[in-house]
Amino acid sequence: MGLFKGDVKTHLFSINVDADAQMFTDDGSFVLLDDEGQGAVTLDFACVSCHLDKDIEWLAHKAKNFHKRGSHSAKKWASRQGQRDDDDD
């Protein structure tokens, strides 16, 4: 097994960082699609399994533009591998 784990195996490649987002239709039969016909994993599926002590609002704040933050965030992440992100910055 790799360094990270997820809740569900999926072929969805985007994460919807809206704290109020819903991943599935009300009956759970289908993934909801955006206006362009694309589905996305929600924070409860992508993040909660590792960040058990954080609420959805905290996750939404941290996830917004995560991959656009530049090398500083990547270096910070790399230095913390295996540790929980307990700070609030």
Could you report the per-residue pLDDT of 20-68, keeping only the tens digit for each?
Answer: 999 999 998 889 999 988 899 999 888 888 888 999 999 999 888 877 7
pLDDT score of 26: 94
Q: Kindly list the distances between the CA atom of residue 6 and the CA atoms of 27, 36, 50, in Å, as whole numbers in the listed order.
A: 22, 25, 8
Structure tokens at 10: 């999926």
Token pair 């910070």 is found at 76
Residue 64: CB partners within 8 Å, gap ≥ 6?
17
pLDDT score of 45: 86
